[in-house]
Chain A
Amino acid sequence: MTQLLHAQLEISFDYTRSLGPTLGAFMTALADRRILGARASDGRVYAPPFEYDPVTAAPPAEFVEVGPGGTVVSWSWMPAPLDGQPLGRPFGWALIRLDGADTALLHAVDAGSAELMRTGMRVVPRWSERRGSGITDIACFVPAGTRDTVLADEGPAGEVAMLTTPIALSYDHTVSPGESSFLQALAQGRLIGQRCPACGKVYLPPRGACPVDGVPTETEIELPDTGIVTTFCVVNVPFTGQQVPVPYVAASILIDGADIAFQHLVLGCQPDEVRMGMRVAAVWKPREEWDTSMRNIEYFEPTGEPDAPYDSYAHHL
């Protein structure tokens, strides 16, 4: 079996969310270094505030300032903090019941050592210098009595109505055995597909299993780098990350001997000359630029051969 290829995949997205009247009020208060709770229909004070009353489903009728001090009602210890967590050194996670509240807020406690954490301990917030960032306006909590730098009073921060939360995750992404063969062959300038043992269809790129029969497609087939355009579109719209100047043609290319088309570029002619059934051949990048990537084929260009008749590819559309 070929060596399975794998690569680190980093994905990230900045989620931007509107806050609405309740979370907006809570986070506006946080920016002013105050903490709000909401009084529920049963008289209990929820901090952080609920958006809808857990019993009546009504929005909060009354906000109540709570804390800033509070009591730890449960805690755990994080000896090796993960990316994005509030502190880069070992810290405690805690559910903290702020003074005047009946529910608890989850946050970090910079206690220095697990031995100093205990249920019932008194904590106070350490405010972040950066304001308007929602719950992270509280950098963490610290044991009451900790000597912390007192931040200067900067006055009201203004309304906080939107919150942007950057999210980044990292994966070790593995390709299937068939995809590994395909990508390694590309690095040698070859195209490798796989044939389904049940229906005989040839997949390029290979898939883990034949989508028609649900069985692994293990027989490898070497294919040429010529084929036809089955269908195409002319891209006229510029977009972020675009690598080819508009207008250009994105086409479904059916390689000779394959049963499934893939998308690639058709260049080397005017966009209005491209047509269904047009014969094309791969244009490879210079050999020294090849890697295990479909990018080794820079684009497809017309060969000048007669077009394939419609009936020969109609069932591949």
Chain B
Amino acid sequence: MTDVAVIGFAQAPGERHSPATTNGVEMLVPIFGEIFKATGLTKDDIGFWCSGSSDYLAGRAFSFVSAVDAIGAFPPVMESHVEMDGAWALYEAWLKILTGEAEIALAYGFGKSSAGNLRRVLALQLDPYLVAPLWPDSVSIAALQARAGIDAGLWTEAEMAQVAARSQADARGNPKAVAARTGGGTGDPGGEVAELLSRPYVADPLRAHDCAPVTDGAAVVILASGGRARALCDRPAWITGFEHRTDSGSLGARDLTVSPSAASAGRAAGAARAQVAELHAPFTHQEIILRRAFELGDQVRINPSGGALGGNPMFAAGLARIGSAATEIMSGQADVALAHATSGPALQQNLVCLMEAVDPALTGRRLSAR
């Protein structure tokens, strides 16, 4: 089986209210151009395309088919779609390369989260019989999870505010973060923890700085098989672990203060070896849950991009975590980088991708050896 590496990443600047249509074409065309320029590839080099998006978010049927216009899909291309974050589209693309059906694959995700009321739209991912008829919104459900951990003594509102303050500071250095370009994002960029804690609750015990901003955006990642990756990229981000797991969909039947699915996926992928981690935590307390699930020590840099708290384009933010972590490798900042993506309420589904700088051909540390 071949080795597979990330060799390119691009993302649209996160926006609070993009003028783009919900089919994503206007956000995707520029970043396809950017990633092709950076990698020296053209659309004809891509053997497999896979996207992540949602018609519920778009408010229209088959929005992902309209998005295919951005590819220029003629002559016909091999193409697929997942109704999940683009990180899961990347997983499918990775499998396509592992099975030898493609040498170079491109995954993209897009979401215009501002088109509808995101808190209500996300209620429809809940159990349609017992939960969705009550329209519990995404922020309120995250608040139930945050409270459970506070009550159990696992974290405090001050520790959550520390996550927010650090994320805001990092997001200010990321030109693609919505927080960097609006001068605010969720909280005051200069906000100290004590000041953040003086602010009102939006969903007790969550304050605005605890919640990712509603963000429109898109992201794209290119994968290549071993030989192609070595030729195309000076320092490919070799994928040495790629796993995803899910917890029960019944919110009241699982312990919301931990993430067994993230922990299991992380152990299988070797997450604890990471020097830097891009964690898809749309709420501050979820970063704390994930750090513990992945057994990341204090020496591990967390979300140098600012993470989802700096910009959380639905269906693209998880893929952007993988792209951001890969960039840490490709740019020489790190040798082992962890990326995580989540989907569903209260961290229900979790995907991890471990990437390394050392060529697996030299170390034998490769998936096929497992």
Contact B144 A76 (CB under 8 A): yes
Stretch at the interface among B119-127, B174-182, B229-237, B297-305: B119-127
Q: Which residues of B contact A213 (CB under 8 A)?
A: 72, 74
B68 within 8 A of A: yes
A146 within 8 A of B: no
**Closest CB in chain B relative to A123 CB, distance in Å:** 14
Q: A54-B248, A114-B204 are in contact. Are A211 and B59 (CB under 8 A)?
A: no
Most buried by A among B25, B123, B134: B134
Interface residues of B in 17-76 (CB under 8 A from A): 19-23, 25-26, 29, 32, 43, 56, 59-60, 66, 68-74
B361 within 8 A of A: no
Contact B72 A209 (CB under 8 A): yes
Cβ-neighbour of A119 out of B68, B129, B135, B147 (below 8 A) = B147
Q: Which residues of A contact B202 (CB under 8 A)?
A: 79
Contact B129 A106 (CB under 8 A): no
Contact A211 B151 (CB under 8 A): no
Contact A210 B131 (CB under 8 A): no
CA distance A210 to B25 in the complex (A): 10
**Closest CB in chain A relative to B222 CB, distance in Å:** 15
A134 within 8 A of B: yes
Contact B143 A105 (CB under 8 A): no
Q: Which residues of A contact B32 (CB under 8 A)?
A: 214
CA distance A50 to B249 in the complex (A): 11
CA distance A57 to B133 in the complex (A): 25
Stretch at the interface among B92-100, B158-166, B183-191, B251-259: B251-259
B82 within 8 A of A: no
**Closest CB in chain A relative to B281 CB, distance in Å:** 18
B358 within 8 A of A: no
CA distance A209 to B29 in the complex (A): 8
Contact B70 A171 (CB under 8 A): no
CA distance A69 to B141 in the complex (A): 22
B137 within 8 A of A: yes
B136 within 8 A of A: yes
Contact B22 A208 (CB under 8 A): no
Contact B69 A210 (CB under 8 A): yes
B331 within 8 A of A: no
CA distance A165 to B128 in the complex (A): 8
B117 within 8 A of A: yes
Interface residues of A in 175-189 (CB under 8 A from B): 175-177, 179
A257 within 8 A of B: no
For chain B, give the interface size range.
35 or more
Contact B25 A23 (CB under 8 A): no
Contact B72 A215 (CB under 8 A): yes
Contact A76 B143 (CB under 8 A): yes
CA distance A177 to B151 in the complex (A): 51
Contact A106 B120 (CB under 8 A): no
Interface string of A6-31 (1 = CB under 8 A from B): 00010100010101000100000000
A74 within 8 A of B: yes
Contact A170 B116 (CB under 8 A): yes
Contact B256 A134 (CB under 8 A): no
**Closest CB in chain A relative to B295 CB, distance in Å:** 25
Contact B59 A93 (CB under 8 A): no
Interface string of A80-113 (1 = CB under 8 A from B): 0011111000000111110000011111100000
A59 within 8 A of B: no
**Closest CB in chain B relative to A101 CB, distance in Å:** 9
CA distance A104 to B73 in the complex (A): 49
**Closest CB in chain B relative to A155 CB, distance in Å:** 25
Cβ-neighbour of A103 out of B120, B121, B140, B253 (below 8 A) = B253
Q: Which residue of A lies closest to B146 (CB)?
A: A76
Contact A48 B130 (CB under 8 A): yes
Q: Which residues of B contact A163 (CB under 8 A)?
A: 129
A61 within 8 A of B: no
Q: Which residues of B contact A207 (CB under 8 A)?
A: 25, 69
B132 within 8 A of A: yes
Contact B73 A173 (CB under 8 A): no
Q: A76-B147, A78-B203, A135-B129 are in contact. Are A211 and B69 (CB under 8 A)?
A: yes
A237 within 8 A of B: no
Contact A46 B253 (CB under 8 A): yes
Contact A215 B133 (CB under 8 A): no
CA distance A85 to B252 in the complex (A): 18
Q: Which residues of A contact B22 (CB under 8 A)?
A: 171, 173-174
Cβ-neighbour of B256 out of A9, A74, A135, A170 (below 8 A) = A74
Q: Which residues of B contact A215 (CB under 8 A)?
A: 29, 72
CA distance A208 to B63 in the complex (A): 13
Contact A74 B120 (CB under 8 A): no
Q: Which residue of A lies closest to B135 (CB)?
A: A84
CA distance A83 to B116 in the complex (A): 13
A75 within 8 A of B: yes
Interface string of A204-248 (1 = CB under 8 A from B): 000111111111100000000000000000000000000000000
CA distance A22 to B157 in the complex (A): 40
Q: Which residues of A contact B56 (CB under 8 A)?
A: 169
**Closest CB in chain B relative to A207 CB, distance in Å:** 5
A58 within 8 A of B: no
B333 within 8 A of A: no
Most buried by A among B32, B133, B252: B252
* A to B CB contacts below 8 Å, 18 in the list: A15-B128, A23-B130, A46-B253, A48-B130, A74-B151, A76-B205, A77-B143, A82-B119, A83-B135, A95-B251, A106-B251, A135-B131, A163-B129, A174-B115, A176-B20, A208-B21, A208-B69, A213-B72
| Interface residues in chain B, defined as those with a beta carbon under 8 Å from any beta carbon in chain A | 19-23, 25-26, 29, 32, 43, 56, 59-60, 66, 68-74, 114-117, 119-121, 123-124, 128-137, 140-141, 143-148, 151, 201-206, 248, 250-253, 256
- Nearest 5 A-B pairs (CB), nearest first? A214-B72, A76-B143, A104-B252, A208-B25, A171-B59
